[in-house]
Structure 1
Amino acid sequence: MPYRLILASASPARLSTLRQAGLSPEVIVSGVDESQVVAADAAELALQLARLKAATVADGLQDDPAPTGLPSMIIVGCDSVLELDGEAYGKPDSAEIAVQRWQAMRGRTGVLHTGHQVILDNGRQLGRTASTVVHFADLSDAEITAYVETGEPLVVAGAFTLDGLGGAFVTGIEGDPHNVVGISLPLLREMLLDLGIAWRDLWSTTR
């Protein structure tokens, strides 16, 4: 049975990860104000943000009648948060904050939490969080400045990437590497199975 897979996220890394796994999602950005969401801890914050993104896109699609013959719809919302010293860190608001973050992160270990929310057009939904331990290299001040000047840390949760320029500054991880990029493929597969959808049924013949 064909499915219409919708990624409720503007992240190019999440889209690329899904495409590399053989899926062909369409992107609908939720446009939610993430700063208004609060939670008890970093893992719960990531999940709440993912839920909000998916629900916002789902609500918008309810007002947009689907054409006849449209495949069953799967909406996937994700959001990532880095936990360090019990604090939750999303995207830094400025280069100065990104530098401060890296000065605190270097040579240390954090946990990258990614919330996942799946909503089906039959009303069923499921939310879970994946967590991956991340070990950071002990960067010099000059390396931090140079990295922040590239602009990459300003647009990603935790001010680092695993699949970009920041990959050289991550000395190791414990857990799913896809989760650090922004979406855990193993977790998403398990969630879909629990909702009665086989992962292989989402594979596309064109990539």
Structure 2
Amino acid sequence: MRFVLASASPARLAVLRAAGIEPSVIVSGVDEEAVAAGLPDPSPSELVTALAMAKADAVARSADLAAITHGSHAEAHEGAEDAVVVGCDSMLAIGGEVVGKPATAEVARARWAAMAGGTGELLTGHAVVRVSDGETVGVASGTQSTTVRFASPTEAELEAYLRSGEPLAVAGAFTLDGLGGWFVEGVDGDPSSVIGISLPLTRRLLAEVGVSVVDLWRDGEG
């Protein structure tokens, strides 16, 4: 069984590796704005789950997946190797607004002005697609919500953080496992979801498509 992460996120990859899984990585290339535009007034949970599903589905149907599941292992068994494709998408709900990656320092600075000293709800949509012999044989999805309690960085601290470039490329303009962790007072819920992929939810979704997470651990882990 091949585990495929439909994301370029190094944080998600690190979480999975630390948890005993060495995934293949295939970036979906999904147009997130187009997916969002096609949804009729979605709730925040519906939006992140739809984006996660679009990414997982695109990779499940891709030529790249077909290529890696028809390797030497598959040839020895006269068929394609089974795979589970996992897609994720994260957004932060704060002050009644759902926000993604800020992209610019100006937007990130404004986000932190709203977040500092308060809380936000980090939503991560998850989708799992099981593929066997090139066909989708199972699909499961869900959303994990975690409350994040933010510190109040000084002006100098915030400017240094913005200059690092880190907050520009991550949902909500912060990380838990990087420089942004200095400015997070705590989380109420699943920390792995804040980093980018919820291990508890992913385990449950894998079970829904008939896969035990322990069977995906690297040799020697289980």
Name the TM tier (shorter chain).
over 0.9
Equivalent pair of 1:81/1:158 in contact (CA under 8 Å): yes
Distance in 2 of aligned mates of 1:15 and 1:206: 19
Residue 87 (structure 1) aligns with: 97
Q: What's the secondary structure of 2:62's corresponding residue?
A: helix
Larger Rg belongs to: 2
Moved more, 85-94 or 17-26: 85-94
Q: Which aligned segments of 4 or more residues in structure 1 are displaced greater than 3 angstroms?
A: 61-66
- Which amino acid letter does the alignment assign opposite residue 25 of structure 2? V
Q: What's the secondary structure of 2:114's corresponding residue?
A: helix
Equivalent pair of 1:43/1:81 in contact (CA under 8 Å): no
Equivalent pair of 1:42/1:87 in contact (CA under 8 Å): no
How many residue pairs align between the two structures?
Answer: 205
Distance in 1 of aligned mates of 2:154 and 2:54: 38
The reply on whether 1:154 has 2:168 as its aligned counterpart is: yes
Residue 31 (structure 2) aligns with: 33
Q: What's the secondary structure of 2:11's corresponding residue?
A: helix
**5+ unaligned residues in a row in structure 1: which ranges?**
none
For normalisation by structure 2, the TM-score amounts to 0.87
- Which amino acid letter does the alignment assign opposite residue 51 of structure 1? M
Shift of 1:205: 1.8
The reply on whether 1:72 has 2:95 as its aligned counterpart is: no
Moved more, 174-183 or 121-130: 121-130
- Which amino acid letter does the alignment assign opposite residue 53 of structure 1? K
Shift of 1:192: 1.1
For normalisation by structure 1, the TM-score amounts to 0.93
Residue 99 (structure 1) aligns with: 109
- After superposition, what is the alpha-carbon deviation per residue over 1:174-198, rounded to whole angstroms, capped at 9, x for unaligned? 0000000000001111111122211
Distance in 2 of aligned mates of 1:42 and 1:87: 9
Shift of 1:63: 8.2
**5+ unaligned residues in a row in structure 2: which ranges?**
none
